[in-house]
Chains A and B, each alone.
Chain A
Amino acid sequence: MIKLENIFKWYQVGGARSFVLKDINLHIEQGDFVSIMGPSGSGKSTLLNVIGLLDEPNEGKYYFMDEDVLALKAKKRASLFQSHMGYVFQAYHLIDELTVYENIETPLIYKNLSSKERKAIVADLLDRFGIVGKKDLFPSQLSGGQQQVVGIARALAGSPKLLLADEPTGNLNSKQGEDIMSLFKQLNEEGVTIIQVTHSEKNAAYGQRIINLLDGQLKDI
């Protein structure tokens, strides 16, 4: 599903290049549950952003479902992103002014779905994650764990094939974290490919595969 070839990413600091990603070669199959681990500053988030098309590498090739993503025009790339990927953040990044229901609905609005279709999808998601009772609340009225559940529901609204999660449990306590991780496991079993960045060995263990990063390079896979 994802093939990275010789990905380099650097910043120009003074005269020298400071590498964030160095010669990354990676293959991820559909249905994988991959955890990216490594110390702070090792390039985990950058790698995730490159995969999620939020960031561009300076060099290398990126094939997503056999398409050369970096060669695509911005518009095409955006639509590819929109139709296949969902993103979950450490800080949830729910829109404060929108209710739970509206937050989940937003990506569907941008997809130009009719209000009937949107209603069906959102109702389904609310039901699935057990947050029907909270649909009219605003993010500030929810606990962190609940907010992250909404964040995941929102990421799944567009029925993506790939879910990208950047430290999804970073702001949660351990009980909430466990709930989120078992949710991920369940989603993976239902067929969603998941790539997560995490610090925690325990969380990483929920995945099938662990990628270790150190100073922008992959360590033994």
Chain B
Amino acid sequence: MVRHFFTTAIRQFSKYKTYTLLNVFGLALAMACALFIYTFIVYQLDFDRFHPHTDRTFMIVQDLKLEQMEYSKGGSYAMYSAIKKEVPQIEHITLYIDKQDFTIKANDHLFKTNGKAAFTDASYFNILNFPWLQGDIRQLDELNTAAISTSLAQRYFGTTDVVGKTIWLESKHPVEIVGVIDDSKTNSNFRSELYFSLASIKTLKDIKDESNFNNWGYTHTSNNILMTLHNSENKAIVEKTVHDLVARHWHKDVLQYYTYSLFNIADFHFDNKYGEGTQKSLLAILAVIGFGILAMACINYINMTASQQLYRSPEIGVRKILGSSNKLLFLQFIIETLSLSLVSIILASSLFYIGFNWSNKYLFLDAPIQQLPTSEFITLCLFLWLAIALLTSIIPSLSLQQLQIQAALKKQLSFRWNLSKKALIIFQNTITLLLITGTIVVVSQVHYLKNTDNGYDRSSILLIPIKDDMWKQQEKLAALFRNTSSISSFSFCDNPPSHDKVWGGTIQFDNRAEWETWAPRYAIGDSSYLHTFGIRLLAGTNFNNDSKNPQFLINENMLHKLGYKNPMEVIGKELMAGGLNDNHKGRIVGVVSDFNTNSLKEAISPTVLGYNEERFKHVAIKYTGSSPRQLLKTLEQEWKNLYPDKLFEYRFYDEQIARLYQKEALLEKLIWLAASISIVISILGFIGLLSTVIVKRTKEIGIRKVLGANTTGIFYLLSKDFLQWVIIAFLIAVPISWYILHRWLEDFTFQVPLRWWMFALAGVIGVFITLITISYQSLKAAKTNPVNSLRDE
């Protein structure tokens, strides 16, 4: 019997090829989408939760009490040593110094580490779950050793069998590889590709100043102090001990400003203050979108099956007459649905794999997401398959219960679910319209973020990093730049405007006795900084390149923050800028207009501009002409002469700014994709539904035509209902999307306003898609010869 049903099902599918394809494709698309979203969410939620004792593993974070609280992670080497020595409640502790940039020579090739290198010791691998595939972990505590991930080993040496090989750091220091690390787990914020032994940091980084190791104040956000406690209940005791240590070894006044606490590493990924700030709400929205799209596809499937049942109702009637019970009819349906959704889920997994690889290549560039374990993936697919098959069989099989044989034979079935069908189609269009509106607004906002220059000019600027001893040759570099005709100006600087890392410090102004309770940001560069970045000088003169007699510029915001209105009132006043120039008091020589030191997610900060060559990390080059290709070639050539051991690196400034908004850009791409998928599915839905309507109204259309209705009239008749539903969906979608998008935009200091046209555009797109979709079938129905539709038995 089952075989009989299979034969029928397969012949049925090939008879209605288009519908079968639409059904399978729609379901597959939605299921692939759901699989993808599930994988993405699981990957995000599992961040740093796979370590052996995640619940009792912490990192040190600090809160700085100024006018505003400033939160940061990290500590100093001295603090790490003291805690390690003096806190008994700790089982393992490590100092993990990450985001290290080096040029590595391996097999006579040069490679950049791109911030994927770190310093740490063997304890790190007791705390975090990155298994060693080869080598002895203890050797990482020896001098000049390193452990490497399998993929990096592949890149450097073309093999993972690299224990005992030597790599050269900056072509100066030989380092022996003592271990190879499994890097199959990537969802950790405390992960690098290349780990140098912490013991050798002094030699490898050429650190001559001992204060780096014994001064408590040398804190840095890259100095992650990670620890596993014997018992997580001891957290408070350890925090207390840390404060005691700070008071004893550093200064008790420090505690007036700083509070230290232990922060669980698993919370880091979602934390706003110290961590990555991945929005859980974003994951929730994605989950809702996933379910929504899946629901849409199921609705379509049901609608299409229902319309199929109309076509097939004589068959169903005959089967009942031939002795089929409702149970057997249901079995027949389930078998059809099961086989159809089996094909769908197989197609879905292939679509998923394509989409997964594609998005890791283009969407999540820097942080590729990870595939689920195969067994989990297969279980999930099986679950989806059965759930979808069951869900989509319920409504059509319910209608079987009401089946009247006589009516069935004459294709005159009337399933009593018109209302719910309308509700379903409205629901489906609401989701689509929400996503379309979301796409329009997110795209506008991201475009605004990426392309708005507040107070500076980003165009035609190259950034070249200046590292360690490169500065020694600055005279030659400067001469080179001056003599290159296509360079209109250049500036050695710390960071350009609009940067994610912003240096700042406390200041003492004029003859005020107290230091200010707020800390301005510092824009540090040479005197060409203003010219190169196009920052406007409002009053006074530019600063000079002299750190012994420092001159400063401040921005308008800072002028107001200091309590002045007129720039002239501050020019000439003294300023002590801690962290910019700790040795000499300087003088304010001018005021510039406001510009964004940070990303547009933050408001404009009070900013001091000044000269400090020790902090120079970049040279910014403003070039003339539209394409710098020739310039880059020349520079690369000169680089090889000047720095034979360095790779020539550069970045375009506007690209670097765009990277500030990666999260938003990712959201933009995701919502764009979701909207497209939902549009495709809702188109399939319209086609399915319209065919039901047309079957049911064939007779009516025929009669109307006999009575003189023309094609346009019939087209209007058929389209009217659909347009009505889209308009209702639009009315529902507008307030919901307005609310959600308004909330989303609130997080940005600089935002595009919500305009009526954004919603109207979404509505127009919705109506347009509907009309396009239904026009083919409607016109076909409207053109049918009434002789055919009115013919009876």
Contacts and interface: CB of A to CB of B under 8 A. Distances in A.
Interface centre among A49, A95, A98, A170 (most CB of B within 10 A): A95
Interface stretch (A14-22, A105-113, A203-211): A105-113
Contacts of A170: 793
Given A49-B406, A110-B323, A93 B4 contact: no
A102 B7 contact: yes
B772 interface: no
A123 to B, nearest CB: 17
Contacts of A97: 8, 11-12, 15, 315
Contacts of B11: 97-98
Contacts of B4: 102, 105-106, 109
Contact of A95 (B1, B318, B325, B409): B318
B313 to A, nearest CB: 11
A93 B4 CA distance: 18
Nearest to B13: A97
Contacts of B606: none
Interface in A88-130: 89-91, 93-98, 102, 105-107, 109-112
A54 interface: yes
Nearest to B4: A109
Contacts of A89: 409
A39 to B, nearest CB: 17
B48 to A, nearest CB: 56
Interface string B319-335: 10111110010000000
A70 B406 CA distance: 18
B322 A107 contact: yes
Interface centre among A107, A110, A111, A158 (most CB of B within 10 A): A110
B166 to A, nearest CB: 72
Contacts of B406: 49, 54-55
Q: B interface, how many residues as a size bin? A: 20 to 34
Contacts of A107: 322-323
A54 B15 contact: no
B590 interface: no
A87 B321 contact: yes
B405 interface: yes
A54 B405 contact: yes
A161 B315 CA distance: 24
Contact of A90 (B8, B15, B323, B793): B793
B520 interface: no
B322 A106 contact: yes
Given A89-B409, A102-B4, A96 B15 contact: yes
Contacts of A81: 323
B314 interface: yes
A171 B322 CA distance: 21
B315 A95 contact: yes
Contacts of B525: none
Given A55-B406, A98-B8, A110 B328 contact: yes
B317 interface: yes
B405 A154 contact: no
B412 to A, nearest CB: 14
A111 B318 contact: no
A26 interface: no
Nearest to A93: B318
Contact of B323 (A94, A158, A171): A158
Given A54-B406, A109-B4, A171-B793, A93 B314 contact: yes
A102 B322 CA distance: 13
A78 interface: yes
Contacts of B322: 106-107, 110, 154
Contacts of B7: 98, 102
B10 to A, nearest CB: 9
A82 interface: yes
Contacts of B1: 109, 112
Contacts of B318: 93-95
A54 B321 contact: yes
A55 B406 CA distance: 8
A55 B324 CA distance: 17
B405 A82 contact: no
B409 A110 contact: no
Nearest to B10: A97
Contacts of A87: 321
Contacts of B409: 89, 91, 93
Nearest to B792: A91
Nearest to B9: A97
Interface in B1-28: 1, 4, 7-8, 11-12, 15
A106 B793 CA distance: 24
Interface string B394-436: 0000000000011001000000000000000000000000000
A87 to B, nearest CB: 5
A95 B319 contact: yes
Contact of A110 (B8, B324, B405): B324
B15 A82 contact: no
A103 to B, nearest CB: 9
A102 B3 CA distance: 12
Interface in A149-200: 154, 158, 170-171
Nearest to B324: A110
A201 to B, nearest CB: 21
Contact of B319 (A105, A106, A158): A106
B330 to A, nearest CB: 14
B317 A82 contact: no
Contacts of A102: 4, 7
A93 B322 CA distance: 11
B325 A78 contact: yes
Contacts of B314: 93
Nearest to B325: A78
A110 B315 CA distance: 14
A93 B323 contact: no
Nearest to B5: A109
Contacts of B317: 93
Interface in A63-77: none
A102 B324 CA distance: 15
A49 B406 CA distance: 9
Contacts of A158: 323
B490 to A, nearest CB: 77
Nearest to B318: A93
A112 B15 CA distance: 28
A82 B8 contact: no
Contacts of A55: 406
Interface in B335-382: none
A93 B319 CA distance: 10
Interface of A: 49, 54-55, 78, 81-82, 87, 89-91, 93-98, 102, 105-107, 109-112, 154, 158, 170-171
Given A95-B8, A96-B315, A110-B323, 13 more contacts: A55-B406, A87-B321, A91-B793, A93-B318, A94-B318, A95-B318, A97-B11, A97-B15, A97-B315, A105-B4, A107-B322, A170-B793, A171-B793
The 9 closest A-B pairs by CB, nearest first: A110-B323, A97-B11, A82-B323, A107-B322, A93-B318, A91-B793, A110-B324, A95-B315, A107-B323
29 contacts: A49-B406, A54-B321, A54-B405, A54-B406, A78-B323, A82-B323, A89-B409, A90-B793, A91-B793, A93-B317, A93-B318, A95-B319, A96-B15, A96-B315, A97-B12, A97-B15, A97-B315, A98-B8, A98-B11, A106-B319, A107-B322, A109-B1, A110-B319, A110-B323, A110-B324, A110-B325, A111-B323, A154-B322, A158-B323
